[in-house]
Amino acid sequence: MKYQDIVTNVNRIIAGYSMRLTLRQIYYRLVAGGFIPNNRSNYNQLSSQLVAARERGDVDDDRIVDRSRSVADMSFDGAEGFIGACRSTLETHYLRRLWDSQPFYVEVWVEKDALSQVIANAVDGFNTVVAPSRGYSSYSYLMEAANRIKTYGQGKQPVILHFADHDPSGLDMSRDLQDRLNRYYKSAPSITVVRIALTFNQVNSFNLTPNPVKAADGRSPAYVEKYGDKCWELDAIEPSQLLQICQGAVAKCIVNLEEWESLKAEDEQERSSLTSQLEALLRGAQ
């Protein structure tokens, strides 16, 4: 696709979302719209064209995000800056553990780190842990998760809502996650992993763009026998649809709505009280 056509279509796509999109999400929107064929060459070309477009100011650099890389900066320009950061944290991040009011303890796990922020936006307000597994999770990561679930989910039914690609390894990750988490969890009731996306029904319902199955994956023969020689990435789902799927799955786990809302009201009162105390501290420091 010509440079100007890329700029026009990308600006149209990002204008349709309040969230920042990744390169891969934009790519799949272009493929789904029939603007470019789905292949590695076109993906690489789009990446190069979007670098040029952002450097020239033809595409808003603030609307595209690389979620696979992050920078940790915990420094402040003084006491007032630190207190301001605390105020912002209170306003946006202070939340009671709302699942304390429910018979379930719920976490959302996603195969790809690049999609973890999309999922986090979807569950904002549910105070639900979002865990990017980055493929098959390491022993340390799973042990940390098992200990966290023991702490926060004691006496409850732990539920993991799982999001992964529909390919030979992505499907197997749901099984692996349940088997290995329970091996380290060693408590009752055992952890239940529920695959939320991608499913084969979603692939067909949303008419998602396929990719060829990787023959090098040892799980491919069994997969191909059942689903054919095509596979699908989680990124191919239209972002707003992915948000709706995630929100709906989490909401279904809230069975005691009155208790949930009561705890949310307490949360708001506590946040207001803490904010007032912080403001008083700030005034005293001036």
**Average pLDDT across the chain, whole number:** 88
> Length of the chain in residues, anyone?
286
Range among 13-17, 167-171, 234-238, 275-279 rated most confident: 167-171
Choose the weakest-confidence range: 55-64, 109-118, 176-185, 200-209: 109-118
Contact 231, 168 (CB under 8 A): yes
**Model pLDDT for residues 24-55, shown as the tens digit of each residue:** 889 888 988 888 888 889 999 999 999 999 99
- pLDDT attached to residue 181: 94
Contact 16, 26 (CB under 8 A): no
**Model pLDDT for residues 75-115, shown as the tens digit of each residue:** 777 766 777 777 777 776 777 789 999 999 999 999 988 78
> Which residue type does 140 have?
S
What beta strand segments (E) does 120-244 contain? 129-132, 157-163, 192-197, 211-212, 230-231
- pLDDT attached to residue 113: 81
CA dihedral 106, 110, 111, 116 (to 10 degrees): -140
What beta strand segments (E) does the chain contain? 104-110, 129-132, 157-163, 192-197, 211-212, 230-231
d(CA 84, CA 86): 5
Contact 224, 231 (CB under 8 A): no
Q: What percent of the chain is modeled with pLDDT above 70?
A: 93
Q: Does residue 69 carry a pLDDT above 60?
A: no
Q: Does residue 71 carry a pLDDT above 60?
A: no
The mean pLDDT of 201-214, rounded to a whole number, is 94
Q: Give the predicted TM-score (pTM) of the model.
A: 0.80
The mean pLDDT of 179-188, rounded to a whole number, is 92
**Better-scored residue on pLDDT, 22 or 108:** 108
Cα 11–Cα 14–Cα 18 angle in degrees, nearest 5: 145
Q: Does residue 225 carry a pLDDT above 70?
A: yes
d(CA 130, CA 109): 6
Q: Is the domain 89-261 a CATH 2.60.40.10 member?
A: no
- pLDDT attached to residue 88: 74
Choose the weakest-confidence range: 122-131, 152-161, 191-200, 268-277: 268-277
Q: What percent of the chain is modeled with pLDDT above 90?
A: 54
d(CA 151, CA 136): 23
Q: To which residue do tokens 């290995």 refer?
A: 180
**For helices 40-56 and 3-15, angle between their N-to-C axes, nearest 10 degrees:** 80
Half-sphere exposure of 98 toward its Cβ, with a 13 Å CA cutoff?
29
Tokens of 46: 């789009």
Domain ranges within the chain, ordered by starting residue: 3-63, 89-261
